[in-house]
Amino acid sequence: MISEARSQKPAYRSHSPEVLFCILYPVFCILFFACVPPPAKPKPSLEITKPPPVIIDPFKSVLDEHLKRALSLEKQGEIPGAIEEFKIALTIDQTNDEAKAGVKRLSAMADIEAEKHYQKGLSLKKNDPSKARTEFLIALRLKPDNPLVIEELKGWHIFIAKSRLLAPSGETDTGVEDYLSVALSLYEDGDYAGAIQEFLKAKEKYPKNPEIIKHLNLSYYKQGVAHFEKGEYKNALQMFLNLKPDFEKVGDYIKKVKAGLKKMAENSYKNGLKLFREQKLTQAIEQWKIVLEIEPEHKKAREYIEKAKNLLKSLEQLK
């Protein structure tokens, strides 16, 4: 019995490969992933921030031109024209403070002047109706929505209309007198800038009328002389260039004006150099801009403006 027991071998249970794989695979995975380090976090990428694009306003030059024209007309005492230019500027940029202030300032001035002419018209109404009408027209030009002036002129126009209906047939049209009345009144008062505007309107209606052409030319001439006497050579030249060289002494004045502008350009160029040496760069640029307004082809002034601008940029970067 004992020998039989010893002779018997222990029975081992064999496993198939599939079973062994299922047993050992989880153990292998645990050991493998325990040894593998976690993946490194990606380094944050350096984002290059681009400067915001420079927005160029295409209407800025137009806006500046109307503002400049408004100030020029205001300086000449042409209040209605200046108000109109400021209003155009506000149409382009409704937030423009300069245009807002200009409309407010000049509207107040126009109200005062319109009232003066209205009262003067009332005082002349009985003794000199024609001059009274002229005063009313000036008042209306200064303040187009003045109801009192409009009522006065309505009465006048009704009177004129009735007179023409009763006039003999073939009578010469007196409409030109209506256009000339305000212009001549402004001319006689020495308001040549205002007279020019009114004569131009009359000329559109009656382009060949010799009286209109004569007084328009005289207004250009006298306004040019007034600018010349004030040393406003550029404005004077603009007036004189509307006339033929043989009109009065306009040829001599043009020579004097051009000589004055040349002298002004030279002085402005020298002042710019002096300010540049004193490191007053902004003021120097302004002086050289005056030079370019008079002599657009002045190379040195243009070069120095660029130098001054580059220096200003460098100084800004250092800050």
User: Residues 105, 123: contact at Cβ < 8 Å?
Assistant: no
* Residue of 239, 268, 264 lying closest to 253 (CA atoms): 239
Percent share of the chain, pLDDT over 90 = 19
| C-alpha to C-alpha distance for 306 and 300, rounded to whole angstroms | 10
Please tell me the distance from the alpha carbon of residue 208 to that of residue 160, in angstroms, as a whole number.
Answer: 24
Q: What is the CATH code for 58-166? A: 1.25.40
Look at 179 and 314; give whichever has higher pLDDT.
314
- Phi and psi angles of residue 210, each rounded to the nearest 5 degrees, phi first: -65, -30
Domain extent listing, the chain: 58-166, 263-319
As given in the structure block, the two tokens for residue 228 are 């010349």
Of the candidates 174, 198, 202, the residue with the CA atom closest to the CA atom of residue 185: 198
On whether the CB atoms of residues 30 and 53 are closer than 8 A, the answer is no
Q: Across the chain, what does the average pLDDT equal? A: 78
Which of the two residues, 31 and 288, has the higher pLDDT score? 288
pLDDT tens figures, 255-283: 999 898 899 889 999 999 999 888 888 99
Predicted model pTM: 0.49
Q: Two tokens at 301?
A: 């002034």
Tell which phi-psi region holds residue 231, choosing left (phi > 0), alpha (psi between -120 and 50) or beta.
left
Gap between the Cα atoms of 288 and 274, Å rounded: 11
C-alpha span between 319 and 314 (Å, rounded): 9
User: pLDDT digit string (tens) for 85-103?
Assistant: 898 888 888 899 999 999 9
- CA trace torsion 239, 244, 248, 249 (10° rounding): 70
Does the pLDDT value for residue 125 go beyond 80? no
Distances (CA, A) of 39 to 42, 43, 53, 181, 313: 9, 12, 40, 95, 49
Q: Which two tokens stand for residue 137?
A: 């027209």
Distances (CA, A) of 239 to 76, 77, 132, 142, 228: 12, 15, 31, 23, 10
Contact of 93 with 61, CB cutoff 8 Å: no
Report pLDDT digits (tens) over 12-41.
455 566 655 566 666 555 655 555 455 555
**DSSP-derived secondary structure for 220-264:** HHHHHHHHHHTT-HHHHHHHHTTS-TTSTTHHHHHHHHHHHHHHH
CA distances from 64 to 67, 258, 265, 288, 291 (A): 5, 26, 23, 19, 19
Determine the Cα–Cα distance for residues 239 and 217; give it in Å rounded to an integer.
9
**12, 240, 261 from 235: Cα distances, Å:** 123, 9, 11
Q: Rounded to the nearest 5°, which phi and psi values hold at 130?
A: -65, -45
Summarised one tens digit per residue, pLDDT across range 227-252 is: 999 988 889 999 999 998 888 888 89
**8 A C-beta contact, residue 146 and residue 114:** yes
